[in-house]
Amino acid sequence: MTDSSDDCFQIAAKLIQESHHAIVFTGAGISTPSGIPDFRSPGTGLWQKSDPMLFASLTAFRYHPDRFFRWLKPLLQASKQAVPNPAHLAISRLEQLGRVKSVITQNIDNLHQKAGSGYVIELHGSMEQFHCPSCQKPASDPAGIIEEIISGQIPYCTHCGTIMKPDITLYEEPLPMKAWQQASDEVSRADLMFVIGSSLEVIPASSLPYDTYRNGGRIIILNYSPTFMDKHADVVIHEDAAEVLPGIVELISDLEN
């Protein structure tokens, strides 16, 4: 069902309210209202402006760190200034109501945690943490490293002098094994997945909604653009998550009372 009517919101709220193990899957679209640029929107997406293999790949980090950190700098600036928007806060509220068990996110901006979500699985890592790829020591002062990068410097390990790497999954890298296993475990338990702000174009993360559907779980999709999962979803809403999601949470609260 694709609609933006009140009936559609009511159905979504009822599905969530009746679920036993609902999980949320989020992409860049949930954070754009907070000022975090997404990657694929026509005209504004980051990959519309630059080739990810030249800037955001493991090769770029290893052999062209100046280029890599020049790409990372505006993302860190945006993330530092960003605050959770009503969609992040609504998901946190659903968790507090006991209606959402976990949040699986493709985002690296830490906004779910800032909004108060307790169990967040970061499939692509976090750009607020760093480690040394040589001696494997984590950064003792990640906030200081962020300030270095924003000021135009390249951060080096204080132990061995190697360039520090942000804990994000770059092109040419596999997803973190622990996060992938946690996400897979949640999908195996889920009777409903609420996909919010993801075009579902990035693999292997985009396979998780289909796995939920294949396991018999219901699917709700809230995203501006169509996705390959729309035909399998019980509800599809092509609107702004920050505007729609708080209303759905209110409907759920009404159903609970």
Q: What proportion of the chain, given as a percentage, has pLDDT over 70?
A: 92
Whether residue 235 has pLDDT greater than 80: yes
3-class DSSP state for residue 192?
strand
Give one DSSP letter per residue of 39-105, joined into a string: SSSTTTSHHHHS-HHHHSBHHHHHH-HHHHHHHHHHHHHHHHH----HHHHHHHHHHHTT---EEEE
pLDDT band at 53 (very low <50, low <70, confident <90, very high): confident
pLDDT band at 46 (very low <50, low <70, confident <90, very high): very low
State pTM to two decimals.
0.92
The structure tokens listed for 108 are 């690296």
Which helix (DSSP H) or strand (DSSP E) does residue 114 occupy? helix 111-115
Among the listed residues 21, 88, 112, 124, the single catalytic one is: 124
pLDDT band at 37 (very low <50, low <70, confident <90, very high): confident
Sign of the Cα pseudo-torsion (83, 86, 91, 93, in order):
positive
**Tens-place pLDDT, residues 97-107:** 999 999 999 99
The structure tokens listed for 238 are 């092509």
Task: Collect all residues with Cβ–Cβ distance below 8 Å to 241 and sequence separation of at least 6.
Answer: 29, 30, 33, 87, 196, 197, 222, 223
**Residue from 13, 37, 15 nearest 90 by CA:** 13
The yes-or-no answer on residue 21 being catalytic is no
Q: Which domains does the chain have, with CATH numbers?
A: 1-36+84-124+174-257 (3.40.50.1220), 45-81+127-168 (3.30.1600.10)
In the block, tokens 């009511």 appear at: 10
**pLDDT in the model for residue 256:** 80
